[in-house]
């Protein structure tokens, strides 16, 4: 049979998939045809800039084939070997979760068990007794996404919703809105058309806690790499500020500053001091647009409550950056056209996940305000979004309610959750184990500043506690806090029943009673737009992080492997058994839903369903003279706001703060929480509760910084793709285990007797993790850098609380404490620890593979083992088996 080409999107970008005889042969970028539209052309400084005629997926997307045939695929429904289906939910050997192996079950057995348990739990405790939690983007597409199929199922059934914390934004969500509004963007700003502005005007880029080649504009893959190359060619000076001389910095930085972790707010204050004393700021702009600026200026100049002048020398003592360098930085920023910001799209970055993250975010915004934010070449913009796009073409993103199958108009009936009780993700273990938990805020508080201060109590009065946890996709062992707590939670008899529905056998799946194997995006139908998280959502128009706006029919490349099935199928089967299958599906297949989404968007006016399906993608061209809506320009130049997705008050020239101005003394903080010790009315640098001023630093002298990973996307790819383990900056594969790289400064390494490549133990009172040492001048001297979101959690004693981990799951070391009493954000980059050379024997291999091998071999004696797939010919074997099966089936047809 000839090769067949289908298309898909993952968090690493849009891809073309070649398959042959029922197996996937290769993954490529989508190369545009001559009849696809022309790319935009930006004219700037005597040059013309236009993108390459292809999608530019990141390397993670180019390995989707491996994720499909990976060694850790969950192939069959499985039930924990020592699970006992007791009538009252007690005595189920819950203490063995994480330790015990599994047995294969048929779909009927697994689904019947799930349905029986749901009925029992509902009868005993009510609908609120089941909670469920999604991953962060383990798949893509408007049908299968967590806000579609998952949401439809659970809202229809009723459940205790588990609120996500704004884990990638924290300091910006909880801080920046009190300075300049934009709560509806979770503290980030608007980047519309700023690529053109930058190419024409900018001279300096401040890349604060920002590694664009690593975080890749969210889900935009390598789409914006070329833009930064252009800026470099134009002589724009990139200044990177990050405790790690990060992967973009070592390539592009004109200058790198490595502040001591958690002291970035002090650097902000030092810069402000230079500007105030030397008059290097836009006084007219500030006079017009800033609220209570003078009180803040007085604080910086030493006339505030603490009577400390925030001089560059004062900032040097906190940050470790020489005062002379701080002056030079302040002058460059204050005298040239400067854009910049923090992390990913400008309001992110590891720095906002520290104890002082809210104050950094507020101060950073204040600095940009002081330079006339919104004027040409002066803005919060970090070279990852803001490409030209046709704002008049709409195809929904995942957070658009209008494009979720949970809601009308895509569905005939909107699914509504009747249960009001909530849980909060960072503290689920505390809530389950203690039976009581209170917190402030709605998780993502995009609806208004007041939402940060709503009070929640678990269990909500009148409700029962949660006794069943349904985990869906991904694992939080590597991305939440103090994750040994999760082990305690899973082993508690409070959780009578644990379901895990996932594609891969990641850390949390191994704690479940019943495991439901879902298939990958490449084995089912879906539809989606690359990097569109929703034009009405918190990151509206994030697809301007692409060079091209492209909607993809995510065709089924191959049939689901082994017994795996699509998430939609799994949920509809359970709904069927609960008696509301028809209500859930409305009689639609996944393909029907895809068509429905085509029909409900502008796509149906551009291309017929058949043509779209056959070609596989649609590129929305940008008109030659496209509409410009420069982000924040309306504010600086005082015309009615015209940017997409704006609020009515913006048309009157107001920001989303109480006064509508940049609040240097926050009126909203004075109103809602005047006693908040973390977010004071004036944003100030405050030493971390776990930092170099803590008593704990005497015992654990190093800071851990553990940012979003370069060699993964959250927890999704690293675990399943052994090719990544051969990247020396990522992992080192020793003795059957991929050890994570942890970076240490040469001076400290020498003190500790650690050489490059040594196995080292990262430890504190919360746990210990073995890593491989990378001795490098790229880290700040007091810092250990090890990427977060390890998809691999490989405890040497599985299921044991505080077992040593060799999978690189450094989140076991991070504090469970949230940023503050009123700030329920996480601060994994405020972790103290120590390191030592590992002198013990090298642990053996991975400690979970046997569980999969046992089930897989029982089902198929001639299949490949995990280790054969990783390093032997297991992959070839699986593909030829699948191919034979496919040919046989076709012969029978």
Partner 1 sequence: MRYGIAVDTAKCMACYCCQMACKDEHCGHDTALSKSQPMMGQFWIEVREWERSDNSRLTKTATVATLCAHCADPACAKAAKNGAVYRRDDGIVIIDPEKSEGQRAIADACPIGAVYYNEVLDIPQKCTMCAELLDDPNYLAYLGDPKKFKKPRCVEACPNNAMLFGDLDDPESDISKYVATHKQTQLEPLAGQDTSVKYINVPTVYLAGTVYLPKELEEVAIGAKVSLKADSGEAWEVTTNYFGDWIVDDLPKNKQVDITVEFEGYKPVKYTAKTDADHYVDMTYLQKA
The footprint of partner 1 on residues 247-276 (CB under 8 A) is 247-248, 250-251, 254-256, 258
> Closer CB to partner 1, residue 717 or residue 766?
717
Among 639, 649, 671, 723, binds partner 1 (CB under 8 A): 723
Q: Quick one: which H or E segment has residue 81? A: none
The yes or no reply on residue 702 touching partner 1 (CB under 8 A) is no
The yes or no reply on residue 25 touching partner 1 (CB under 8 A) is yes
Beta bridge partners of 15: 8, 29
CA angle (377 as vertex; 376, 379 as ends), nearest 5: 95
The yes or no reply on residue 781 touching partner 1 (CB under 8 A) is yes
The yes or no reply on residue 3 touching partner 1 (CB under 8 A) is yes
The yes or no reply on residue 305 touching partner 1 (CB under 8 A) is no
Q: CA-CA distance, 714 to 588, in Å (whole number)?
A: 32
Stretch that binds partner 1, among 86-94, 110-118, 223-231, 364-372 (CB under 8 A): 223-231
What's the min distance (Å) between Cβ of 224 and partner 1? 9
What's the min distance (Å) between Cβ of 708 and partner 1? 16
> Closer CB to partner 1, residue 34 or residue 625?
34
Say how many Å lie between the first and final Cα of the chain, rounded: 15
What are the C-alpha distances in Å from 214 to residues 260, 349, 474, 535?
21, 11, 20, 24
Place of tokens 């201060």: 453
Stretch that binds partner 1, among 241-249, 289-297, 436-444, 602-610 (CB under 8 A): 241-249
Residue 689 makes CB contacts below 8 A (sequence gap 6+) with 355, 817, 830
What are the C-alpha distances in Å from 506 to residues 102, 470, 472, 722, 759?
14, 15, 11, 14, 24
Q: Quick one: which H or E segment has residue 460? A: none
Is 839 exposed, middle or buried (CB count within 10 Å of its CB: 0-12, 13-18, 19+)? exposed
Among 9, 10, 11, 16, binds partner 1 (CB under 8 A): 16
Among 292, 331, 629, 817, binds partner 1 (CB under 8 A): 331
Q: CA-CA distance, 783 to 748, in Å (whole number)?
A: 9
Beta bridge partners of 498: 469
> Closer CB to partner 1, residue 315 or residue 415?
315
For helices 323-335 and 264-278, give the axis angle rounded to 10 degrees. 60
The yes or no reply on residue 226 touching partner 1 (CB under 8 A) is yes
Residue 284 makes CB contacts below 8 A (sequence gap 6+) with none
Among 9, 11, 58, 236, binds partner 1 (CB under 8 A): 58
Tokens of 633: 């320009």
Among 778, 811, 847, 852, binds partner 1 (CB under 8 A): 778
Tokens of 695: 């008593």
**Residue 285 is among the residues annotated as catalytic for this protein:** no
> Closer CB to partner 1, residue 57 or residue 426?
57
Among 453, 658, 733, 850, binds partner 1 (CB under 8 A): 733
What's the min distance (Å) between Cβ of 696 and partner 1? 25
The yes or no reply on residue 56 touching partner 1 (CB under 8 A) is yes
Stretch that binds partner 1, among 564-572, 675-683, 719-727, 830-838 (CB under 8 A): 719-727
The yes or no reply on residue 773 touching partner 1 (CB under 8 A) is no
Closest CA to 353 of 166, 211, 171, 136: 171
What's the min distance (Å) between Cβ of 393 and partner 1? 23
Among 11, 205, 225, 355, binds partner 1 (CB under 8 A): 225
Contacts 24+ apart (CB under 8 A), 314-319: 314/266, 314/269, 314/270, 315/266, 315/267, 315/269, 315/270, 315/271, 315/273, 316/270, 318/260, 318/263, 318/266, 318/267, 318/685, 318/687, 319/259, 319/260, 319/263, 319/264, 319/266, 319/267, 319/270
Closest CA to 208 of 678, 707, 823: 707
Residue 420 makes CB contacts below 8 A (sequence gap 6+) with 460
The yes or no reply on residue 674 touching partner 1 (CB under 8 A) is no
The yes or no reply on residue 546 touching partner 1 (CB under 8 A) is no
The yes or no reply on residue 882 touching partner 1 (CB under 8 A) is no
Closest CA to 502 of 797, 12, 146: 146
Place of tokens 């190419």: 199
Q: Number of residues interacting with partner 1: please give it, by CB under 8 A.
A: 73
Q: CA-CA distance, 792 to 795, in Å (whole number)?
A: 10
Among 124, 298, 323, 451, binds partner 1 (CB under 8 A): 323
> Closer CB to partner 1, residue 367 or residue 445?
367
> Closer CB to partner 1, residue 16 or residue 522?
16
Place of tokens 């909607």: 551
Among 67, 137, 291, 327, binds partner 1 (CB under 8 A): 327
Closest CA to 107 of 601, 478, 515, 678: 515
What's the min distance (Å) between Cβ of 222 and partner 1? 4
Q: CA-CA distance, 772 to 730, in Å (whole number)?
A: 10
Q: CA-CA distance, 495 to 488, in Å (whole number)?
A: 11
The yes or no reply on residue 52 touching partner 1 (CB under 8 A) is yes
The yes or no reply on residue 752 touching partner 1 (CB under 8 A) is no
Closest CA to 10 of 59, 43, 77, 73: 59
Which listed residue (71, 76, 125, 137) is catalytic?
Answer: 137
Stretch that binds partner 1, among 51-59, 136-144, 565-573, 675-683 (CB under 8 A): 51-59
The yes or no reply on residue 54 touching partner 1 (CB under 8 A) is yes
Which listed residue (102, 183, 240, 398) is catalytic?
Answer: 398
Among 50, 86, 106, 229, binds partner 1 (CB under 8 A): 229
**Residue 137 is among the residues annotated as catalytic for this protein:** yes
Among 85, 611, 844, 873, binds partner 1 (CB under 8 A): 873
Stretch that binds partner 1, among 61-69, 291-299, 467-475, 579-587 (CB under 8 A): 61-69
For helices 264-278 and 293-300, give the axis angle rounded to 10 degrees. 100
The yes or no reply on residue 298 touching partner 1 (CB under 8 A) is no
Half-sphere exposure of 737 (CA within 13 A, CB side): 25
Stretch that binds partner 1, among 320-328, 439-447, 655-663, 765-773 (CB under 8 A): 320-328
Per-residue x/- track, 332-371, partner 1 (CB under 8 A): x---------------------------------------
Stretch that binds partner 1, among 29-37, 131-139, 367-375, 485-493 (CB under 8 A): 29-37
The DSSP bridge pattern shows strands 759-764 and 767-775 to be: antiparallel
What's the min distance (Å) between Cβ of 623 and partner 1? 23
Residue 614 makes CB contacts below 8 A (sequence gap 6+) with none
The yes or no reply on residue 802 touching partner 1 (CB under 8 A) is no
The yes or no reply on residue 539 touching partner 1 (CB under 8 A) is no
What's the min distance (Å) between Cβ of 791 and partner 1? 17
The yes or no reply on residue 2 touching partner 1 (CB under 8 A) is yes
Among 222, 263, 358, 475, binds partner 1 (CB under 8 A): 222
Q: CA-CA distance, 473 to 788, in Å (whole number)?
A: 18
Q: 185-214: b or e for each residue (b if 16 or more CB lie within 10 Å)?
A: bbbbbbbbbbbbbbbebbbbbbbbbbbbbb
The yes or no reply on residue 325 touching partner 1 (CB under 8 A) is yes
**Residue 88 is among the residues annotated as catalytic for this protein:** no
Which listed residue (167, 400, 502, 526) is catalytic?
Answer: 167
Among 33, 45, 288, 884, binds partner 1 (CB under 8 A): 33
Stretch that binds partner 1, among 25-33, 156-164, 366-374, 465-473 (CB under 8 A): 25-33
Stretch that binds partner 1, among 216-224, 350-358, 391-399, 409-417 (CB under 8 A): 216-224
Residues acting as catalytic residues: 137, 167, 398
């Amino acid at each position: 049979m000839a090769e067949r080409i289908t298309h898909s999107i993952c968090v690493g970008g849009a891809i073309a998939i070649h398959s042959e005889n029922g197996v996937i042969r290769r993954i490529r970028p989508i190369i545009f045809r001559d009849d696809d539209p022309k790319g935009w052309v930006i004219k700037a400084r005597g040059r013309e800039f236009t993108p390459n005629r292809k999608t530019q997926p990141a390397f993670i997307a180019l390995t989707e084939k491996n994720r499909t045939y990976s060694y850790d695929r969950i192939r069959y429904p499985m039930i924990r070997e020592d699970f006992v289906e007791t009538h009252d939910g007690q005595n189920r050997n819950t203490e063995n979760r994480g330790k015990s192996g599994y047995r294969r079950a048929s779909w009927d057995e697994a689904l019947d068990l799930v349905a029986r348990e749901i009925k029992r739990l509902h009868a005993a405790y009510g609908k609120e007794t089941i909670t469920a939690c999604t991953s962060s983007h383990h798949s893509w597409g408007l049908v299968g996404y967590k806000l579609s199929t998952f949401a439809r199922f659970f809202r229809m059934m009723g459940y205790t919703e588990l609120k996500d914390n704004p884990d990638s934004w924290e300091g910006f969500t909880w801080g920046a809105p009190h300075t300049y509004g934009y709560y509806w963007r979770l503290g980030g700003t608007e980047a519309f058309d700023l690529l053109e502005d930058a190419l024409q005007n900018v001279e300096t880029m401040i890349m604060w806690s920002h590694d664009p080649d690593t975080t890749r504009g969210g889900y935009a893959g390598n789409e914006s790499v070329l833009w930064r190359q252009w800026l470099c060619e134009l002589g724009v000076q990139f200044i990177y500020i990050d405790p790690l001389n990060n992967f973009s910095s070592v390539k592009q930085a004109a200058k790198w500053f490595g502040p001591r972790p958690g002291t970035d707010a002090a650097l902000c204050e030092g810069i402000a001091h230079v500007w105030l004393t030397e008059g290097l700021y836009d006084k007219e702009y500030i006079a017009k647009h800033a609220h209570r600026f003078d009180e803040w200026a007085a604080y910086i100049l030493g006339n505030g409550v603490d009577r400390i002048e925030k001089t560059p020398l004062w900032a040097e003592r906190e940050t470790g950056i020489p005062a002379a360098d701080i002056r030079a930085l302040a002058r460059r920023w204050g005298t040239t056209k400067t854009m910049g910001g923090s992390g990913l799209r400008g309001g992110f970055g590891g720095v906002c996940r520290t104890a002082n993250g809210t104050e950094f975010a507020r101060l950073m915004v204040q600095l940009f305000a002081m330079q006339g934010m919104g004027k040409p070449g002066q803005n919060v913009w970090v070279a990852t979004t803001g490409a030209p796009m046709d704002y008049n073409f709409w195809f929904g993103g995942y957070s658009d309610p209008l494009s979720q199958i949970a809601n009308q108009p895509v569905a005939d009936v909107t699914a509504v959750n009747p249960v009001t009780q909530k849980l909060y993700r960072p503290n689920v273990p505390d809530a389950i184990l203690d039976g009581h938990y209170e917190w402030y805020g709605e998780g993502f508080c995009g609806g208004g500043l007041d939402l940060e201060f709503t009070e929640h109590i678990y269990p909500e009065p009148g409700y029962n506690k949660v006794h069943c946890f349904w985990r869906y996709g991904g694992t939080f062992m590597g991305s939440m806090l103090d994750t040994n707590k999760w082990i305690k939670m899973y082993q508690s008899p409070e959780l009578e029943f644990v379901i895990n529905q996932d594609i891969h056998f990641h850390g949390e799946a191994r704690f479940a009673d019943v495991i439901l194997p879902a298939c990958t995006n490449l084995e089912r139908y879906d539809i989606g737009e690359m990097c569109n998280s929703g034009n009405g959502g918190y990151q509206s128009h994030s697809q301007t992080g692409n060079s091209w706006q492209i909607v993809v029919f995510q065709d089924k490349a191959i049939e689901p492997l082994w017994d795996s099935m699509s998430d939609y199928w799994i949920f509809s089967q359970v709904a069927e058994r609960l008696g509301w299958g028809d209500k859930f599906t409305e009689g639609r297949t996944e393909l029907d839903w895809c068509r429905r989404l085509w029909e409900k968007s502008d796509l149906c006016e551009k291309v017929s369903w058949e043509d779209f399906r056959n070609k596989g993608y649609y590129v929305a061209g940008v008109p030659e003279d496209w509409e410009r809506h420069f982000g924040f320009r309306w504010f600086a130049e005082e015309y009615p706001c015209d940017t997409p997705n704006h609020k009515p008050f913006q048309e009157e020239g107001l920001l989303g703060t109480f006064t509508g101005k940049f609040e240097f003394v926050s009126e909203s903080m004075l109103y809602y929480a005047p006693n908040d010790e973390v977010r004071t009315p004036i944003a100030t640098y405050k030493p971390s509760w776990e930092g170099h001023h803590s008593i704990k630093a005497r015992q654990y002298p190093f800071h851990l910084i553990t940012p979003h990973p370069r060699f993964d996307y959250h927890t999704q790819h690293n675990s399943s793709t052994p090719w990544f383990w051969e990247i020396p900056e990522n992992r080192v594969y020793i003795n059957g285990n991929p050890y994570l790289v942890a970076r240490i400064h040469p001076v400290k390494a020498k003190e500790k007797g650690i050489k490059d490549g040594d196995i080292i133990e990262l430890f504190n009172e919360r746990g210990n993790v073995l890593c491989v040492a990378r001795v490098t001048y790229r880290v700040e001297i007091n810092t250990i850098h090890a990427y977060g979101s390890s998809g691999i959690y490989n405890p040497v004693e599985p299921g044991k609380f505080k077992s040593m981990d060799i999978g690189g799951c450094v989140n076991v070391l991070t504090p469970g404490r949230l940023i503050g009493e009123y700030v329920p954000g996480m601060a994994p980059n405020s972790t103290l620890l120590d390191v030592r050379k590992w002198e013990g024997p090298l642990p053996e291999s991975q400690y979970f593979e046997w569980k999969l091998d046992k089930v897989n071999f029982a089902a198929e004696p001639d299949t490949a083992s995990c280790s054969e797939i990783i390093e032997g010919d297991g992959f070839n074997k699986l593909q030829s088996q699948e191919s034979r099966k496919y040919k046989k089936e076709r012969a029978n047809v």
